[in-house]
Amino acid sequence: MNVVVRRADANDLDTLALLFDAYRQFYKQPSAVALARAFLAERIANDESVVLIAEHDGVAIGLTQLYPLFSSVRLGRAWLLNDLYVAPQARRFGAARALLDAACAFARERGALGLELETGLDNVTAQALYRSAGWKLGENLHFHIDFKGHA
């Protein structure tokens, strides 16, 4: 499968919203296409995230969303790869790897320190993908505090 990855923009919002909604449903959230579209529209309009879209024959099949991070200790920028999703019918054809590679290239081109991500303990498929792409499992504990009742 020939997968093309490019940076998404406001013209992609309708397509992105469907993929993003499916991604959220994968994580047991109720479908909310209009809210997903509004969320992505705000991130893109305010330059708060970078969304990369994967396409095959002009059809959107996946996305990844990156958020900027900064390290005071290392005095530089990093990126959080927060979302990665490939439509079920397009899995196992290299789209996820293409999105990961494009995210790394994007960050490298901008002089980033690196990329970070987190996935579920039970998401062994994603863990295998990350390892095969050269990602290393960190040693730091991940803590969070929840203000809105969502994990």
Q: Using CA atoms, how far apart are residues 28 and 138, in angstroms rounded to an integer?
A: 26
For tokens 């995230």, name the residue. Answer: 49
Q: Using CA atoms, how far apart are residues 65 and 100, in angstroms rounded to an integer?
A: 10
Within a domain: 147: no
Question: For 3-47, what is each residue's pLDDT tens digit?
Answer: 999 999 999 999 999 999 999 999 999 999 999 999 999 999 999
- Quote the domain boundaries for residue 31: 4-132
Res 100: pLDDT: 94
Count of domains for the chain:
1
Q: Using CA atoms, how far apart are residues 132 and 127, in angstroms rounded to an integer?
A: 9
Tokens of 67: 């958020």
Question: For 48-80, what is each residue's pLDDT tens digit?
Answer: 999 999 999 999 999 999 999 999 999 999 999
Q: In what order do the strands lie in the sheet with 76-86?
A: 4-7, 50-56, 59-71, 76-86, 115-116
Res 104: pLDDT: 93
Within a domain: 36: yes
Within a domain: 148: no
Within a domain: 149: no
- CATH assignment at residue 11: 3.40.630.30
pTM confidence score: 0.90
| Residues 121/143/38/21 CA torsion (nearest 10 deg) | 10
